[in-house]
Protein backbone atom coordinates (compact mmCIF):
# COMPACT_ATOMS: atom_id res chain seq x y z
CA UNK A 1 0.00 0.00 0.00
CA UNK A 2 2.64 2.69 0.87
CA UNK A 3 4.53 2.13 -2.40
CA UNK A 4 1.30 2.29 -4.38
CA UNK A 5 0.69 5.74 -2.82
CA UNK A 6 4.14 6.85 -3.97
CA UNK A 7 3.50 5.57 -7.49
CA UNK A 8 0.09 7.23 -7.58
CA UNK A 9 0.97 10.67 -6.20
CA UNK A 10 4.69 11.01 -6.98
CA UNK A 11 4.16 11.95 -10.66
CA UNK A 12 1.51 14.53 -9.73
CA UNK A 13 3.88 16.19 -7.26
CA UNK A 14 6.72 16.20 -9.79
CA UNK A 15 4.52 17.76 -12.48
CA UNK A 16 2.90 20.40 -10.24
CA UNK A 17 2.73 23.64 -12.21
CA UNK A 18 1.28 25.91 -9.52
CA UNK A 19 1.47 26.23 -5.72
CA UNK A 20 -2.29 25.63 -5.50
CA UNK A 21 -2.06 22.32 -7.36
CA UNK A 22 0.91 21.26 -5.23
CA UNK A 23 -0.97 22.15 -2.04
CA UNK A 24 -4.07 20.22 -3.09
CA UNK A 25 -1.98 17.22 -4.02
CA UNK A 26 -0.20 17.24 -0.66
CA UNK A 27 -3.55 17.38 1.13
CA UNK A 28 -4.52 14.16 -0.63
CA UNK A 29 -1.11 12.61 0.09
CA UNK A 30 -1.36 13.41 3.80
CA UNK A 31 -4.78 11.79 4.08
CA UNK A 32 -3.75 8.71 2.10
CA UNK A 33 -0.73 8.24 4.35
CA UNK A 34 -2.87 8.48 7.49
CA UNK A 35 -2.00 12.04 8.53
CA UNK A 36 -4.33 14.99 9.05
CA UNK A 37 -2.18 17.95 8.04
CA UNK A 38 0.90 18.89 6.04
CA UNK A 39 3.31 21.83 5.85
CA UNK A 40 5.74 22.46 3.01
CA UNK A 41 8.41 25.16 2.86
CA UNK A 42 11.32 26.07 0.61
CA UNK A 43 13.46 29.06 1.51
CA UNK A 44 16.16 30.40 -0.86
CA UNK A 45 19.38 31.57 0.70
CA UNK A 46 20.61 35.16 0.79
CA UNK A 47 22.03 35.18 -2.74
CA UNK A 48 18.62 34.34 -4.16
CA UNK A 49 16.57 36.66 -1.96
CA UNK A 50 14.80 38.00 -5.07
CA UNK A 51 13.20 34.56 -5.31
CA UNK A 52 10.07 34.15 -3.24
CA UNK A 53 9.93 31.52 -0.55
CA UNK A 54 7.35 28.75 -0.78
CA UNK A 55 5.18 28.13 2.27
CA UNK A 56 1.96 26.13 2.23
CA UNK A 57 0.04 24.12 4.81
CA UNK A 58 -3.40 23.04 5.90
CA UNK A 59 -2.83 23.45 9.62
CA UNK A 60 -5.76 24.47 11.83
CA UNK A 61 -6.42 28.20 11.40
CA UNK A 62 -5.93 28.77 15.13
CA UNK A 63 -2.40 27.35 15.03
CA UNK A 64 -1.48 29.26 11.87
CA UNK A 65 -2.64 32.50 13.47
CA UNK A 66 -0.62 31.89 16.64
CA UNK A 67 2.48 30.90 14.63
CA UNK A 68 2.39 34.04 12.50
CA UNK A 69 1.22 36.49 15.18
CA UNK A 70 3.99 35.54 17.60
CA UNK A 71 6.60 35.08 14.85
CA UNK A 72 7.41 31.57 16.04
CA UNK A 73 9.39 30.55 12.95
CA UNK A 74 12.71 31.56 14.49
CA UNK A 75 11.91 29.60 17.66
CA UNK A 76 10.47 26.51 15.98
CA UNK A 77 12.40 23.43 17.23
CA UNK A 78 11.25 21.39 14.21
CA UNK A 79 12.73 23.99 11.89
CA UNK A 80 16.01 24.00 13.83
CA UNK A 81 16.15 20.20 13.83
CA UNK A 82 15.96 20.23 10.02
CA UNK A 83 19.46 21.72 9.99
CA UNK A 84 20.76 18.71 11.92
CA UNK A 85 19.06 15.89 10.02
CA UNK A 86 19.81 14.05 6.79
CA UNK A 87 16.62 12.01 6.80
CA UNK A 88 13.10 12.51 8.06
CA UNK A 89 12.53 12.50 11.80
CA UNK A 90 9.65 12.06 14.20
CA UNK A 91 8.96 15.03 16.43
CA UNK A 92 9.24 12.84 19.50
CA UNK A 93 12.95 12.52 18.64
CA UNK A 94 13.65 16.27 18.53
CA UNK A 95 15.74 16.13 21.71
CA UNK A 96 18.11 13.72 19.94
CA UNK A 97 18.81 16.34 17.29
CA UNK A 98 18.83 19.67 19.14
CA UNK A 99 18.86 20.94 22.75
CA UNK A 100 15.24 21.52 23.75
CA UNK A 101 14.42 24.63 25.77
CA UNK A 102 11.46 25.33 28.03
CA UNK A 103 10.09 27.53 25.25
CA UNK A 104 10.37 24.66 22.77
CA UNK A 105 8.33 22.35 24.97
CA UNK A 106 5.78 25.10 25.55
CA UNK A 107 5.44 25.70 21.81
CA UNK A 108 4.85 22.01 21.10
CA UNK A 109 2.32 21.89 23.92
CA UNK A 110 0.37 24.80 22.44
CA UNK A 111 0.44 23.07 19.07
CA UNK A 112 -1.05 19.92 20.57
CA UNK A 113 -3.84 21.93 22.16
CA UNK A 114 -4.93 23.32 18.79
CA UNK A 115 -4.63 20.08 16.82
CA UNK A 116 -0.98 19.83 15.78
CA UNK A 117 -0.03 16.93 18.00
CA UNK A 118 2.80 14.94 16.43
CA UNK A 119 4.55 14.80 13.10
CA UNK A 120 7.18 13.50 10.74
CA UNK A 121 9.38 16.05 8.98
CA UNK A 122 11.50 15.51 5.86
CA UNK A 123 14.38 18.01 5.47
CA UNK A 124 16.39 18.86 2.35
CA UNK A 125 19.36 21.21 1.94
CA UNK A 126 21.23 22.51 -1.09
CA UNK A 127 24.36 24.37 0.09
CA UNK A 128 24.52 27.89 -1.23
CA UNK A 129 20.97 27.82 -2.56
CA UNK A 130 18.32 27.02 0.00
CA UNK A 131 16.63 24.59 2.33
CA UNK A 132 13.22 23.01 2.51
CA UNK A 133 11.07 20.79 4.65
CA UNK A 134 7.87 18.82 4.33
CA UNK A 135 5.98 17.84 7.49
CA UNK A 136 3.12 15.38 7.82
CA UNK A 137 1.16 15.86 11.03
CA UNK A 138 -1.48 14.04 13.06
CA UNK A 139 -4.07 15.57 15.37
CA UNK A 140 -4.47 14.92 19.08
CA UNK A 141 -5.36 11.39 20.17
CA UNK A 142 -3.82 9.98 16.96
CA UNK A 143 -0.65 7.95 16.45
CA UNK A 144 1.84 8.45 13.64
CA UNK A 145 1.28 5.87 10.87
CA UNK A 146 4.80 4.50 11.27
CA UNK A 147 4.29 1.77 8.70
CA UNK A 148 3.96 4.57 6.12
CA UNK A 149 6.86 6.80 7.12
CA UNK A 150 9.05 5.47 4.30
CA UNK A 151 6.43 6.60 1.80
CA UNK A 152 6.22 9.95 3.62
CA UNK A 153 10.01 10.28 3.26
CA UNK A 154 9.88 9.72 -0.50
CA UNK A 155 6.85 11.90 -1.18
CA UNK A 156 8.09 14.65 1.14
CA UNK A 157 11.38 14.81 -0.75
CA UNK A 158 9.56 14.95 -4.09
CA UNK A 159 7.30 17.74 -2.79
CA UNK A 160 10.32 19.80 -1.68
CA UNK A 161 11.87 19.38 -5.13
CA UNK A 162 8.60 20.59 -6.67
CA UNK A 163 8.53 23.62 -4.36
CA UNK A 164 12.14 24.39 -5.28
CA UNK A 165 11.24 24.34 -8.94
CA UNK A 166 8.28 26.66 -8.35
CA UNK A 167 10.63 29.24 -6.80
CA UNK A 168 12.46 29.37 -10.12
CA UNK A 169 15.58 27.71 -8.75
CA UNK A 170 17.24 24.53 -9.91
CA UNK A 171 18.72 25.68 -13.19
CA UNK A 172 21.03 28.66 -13.03
CA UNK A 173 24.57 29.76 -13.71
CA UNK A 174 26.02 31.19 -10.55
CA UNK A 175 29.40 32.88 -10.19
CA UNK A 176 31.19 32.86 -6.82
CA UNK A 177 30.34 35.93 -4.80
CA UNK A 178 33.94 36.28 -3.60
CA UNK A 179 37.34 36.28 -5.26
CA UNK A 180 39.84 33.60 -4.29
CA UNK A 181 41.74 36.00 -2.03
CA UNK A 182 38.55 37.26 -0.39
CA UNK A 183 37.41 33.69 0.21
CA UNK A 184 40.78 32.82 1.76
CA UNK A 185 40.61 35.82 4.12
CA UNK A 186 37.08 34.85 5.18
CA UNK A 187 38.22 31.27 5.75
CA UNK A 188 41.00 32.30 8.12
CA UNK A 189 38.63 34.68 9.87
CA UNK A 190 36.18 31.78 10.34
CA UNK A 191 39.04 29.77 11.82
CA UNK A 192 39.46 32.46 14.47
CA UNK A 193 42.47 34.30 13.08
CA UNK A 194 42.83 38.07 13.36
CA UNK A 195 43.65 40.16 10.30
CA UNK A 196 47.28 40.38 11.47
CA UNK A 197 47.54 36.60 11.92
CA UNK A 198 45.86 35.97 8.56
CA UNK A 199 48.33 38.35 6.90
CA UNK A 200 51.31 36.38 8.23
CA UNK A 201 49.78 33.06 7.15
CA UNK A 202 48.91 34.34 3.66
CA UNK A 203 52.12 36.34 3.13
CA UNK A 204 50.36 39.67 2.56
CA UNK A 205 49.95 42.84 4.60
CA UNK A 206 47.34 43.31 7.32
CA UNK A 207 45.96 46.28 5.37
CA UNK A 208 45.39 44.03 2.36
CA UNK A 209 43.56 41.45 4.50
CA UNK A 210 41.31 44.15 5.94
CA UNK A 211 40.58 45.43 2.42
CA UNK A 212 39.69 41.94 1.20
CA UNK A 213 37.32 41.46 4.14
CA UNK A 214 35.75 44.88 3.63
CA UNK A 215 35.24 44.20 -0.08
CA UNK A 216 33.73 40.80 0.76
CA UNK A 217 31.24 42.41 3.16
CA UNK A 218 30.31 44.92 0.47
CA UNK A 219 29.72 42.13 -2.06
CA UNK A 220 27.27 40.50 0.34
CA UNK A 221 25.93 43.84 1.56
CA UNK A 222 26.51 42.92 5.20
CA UNK A 223 28.14 44.92 7.96
CA UNK A 224 29.87 42.48 10.29
CA UNK A 225 32.33 39.63 10.05
CA UNK A 226 30.04 37.03 11.63
CA UNK A 227 27.34 37.59 9.01
CA UNK A 228 29.96 37.47 6.27
CA UNK A 229 31.12 34.06 7.52
CA UNK A 230 27.52 32.81 7.56
CA UNK A 231 27.01 34.00 3.98
CA UNK A 232 30.16 32.21 2.82
CA UNK A 233 29.05 29.03 4.61
CA UNK A 234 25.59 29.21 3.02
CA UNK A 235 27.14 29.68 -0.42
CA UNK A 236 29.53 26.75 0.05
CA UNK A 237 32.62 28.95 -0.38
CA UNK A 238 33.83 27.69 3.00
CA UNK A 239 32.59 24.58 4.75
CA UNK A 240 31.89 23.34 8.24
CA UNK A 241 33.96 20.14 7.67
CA UNK A 242 37.00 22.24 6.70
CA UNK A 243 36.65 24.38 9.82
CA UNK A 244 36.12 21.39 12.10
CA UNK A 245 39.09 19.48 10.67
CA UNK A 246 41.33 22.50 11.17
CA UNK A 247 40.13 23.06 14.74
CA UNK A 248 40.62 19.38 15.58
CA UNK A 249 44.15 19.42 14.18
CA UNK A 250 44.96 22.48 16.27
CA UNK A 251 43.79 20.70 19.43
CA UNK A 252 46.08 17.72 18.94
Nearest Cα neighbor of 87 from 45, 134, 42, 27 is 134
- Angle value at C-alpha 64, between 61 and 68, nearest 5 degrees: 140
SS3 label, residue 112: helix
pLDDT band at 66 (very low <50, low <70, confident <90, very high): confident
Model confidence pLDDT, tens digit, residues 173-232: 556 789 999 999 999 999 999 999 999 999 999 999 999 999 999 999 999 999 999 889
d(CA 233, CA 103): 28
d(CA 127, CA 186): 17
105: enclosing H helix or E strand: helix 102-113
For the cut 80, the answer to whether the pLDDT of residue 172 exceeds it is: no
Model confidence pLDDT, tens digit, residues 112-170: 999 999 999 999 988 768 899 999 999 988 999 999 999 999 999 999 999 999 988 76
CATH homologous superfamily of 2-166? Transcription factor LuxR-like, autoinducer-binding domain (3.30.450.80)
Q: Which CATH number fits domain 180-247: 1.10.287.110, 3.30.360.10, 3.40.50.300, 1.10.10.10?
A: 1.10.10.10
d(CA 122, CA 103): 23
The domain locations on the chain are 2-166, 180-247
Q: What is the 3-state secondary structure (H, E, C) of 5-40?
A: HHHHHHHHHHCCCCHHHHHHHHHHHHHHHCCCEEEE
Amino acid sequence: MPLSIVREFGPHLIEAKTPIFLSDCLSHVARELGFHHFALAYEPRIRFEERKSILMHNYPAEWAEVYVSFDLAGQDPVRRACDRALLGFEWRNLAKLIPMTIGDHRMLSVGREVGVADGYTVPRHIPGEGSGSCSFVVSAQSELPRERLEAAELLGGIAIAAARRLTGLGQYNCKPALSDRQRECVLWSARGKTAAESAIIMGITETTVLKHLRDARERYNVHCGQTLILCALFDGLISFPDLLRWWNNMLR
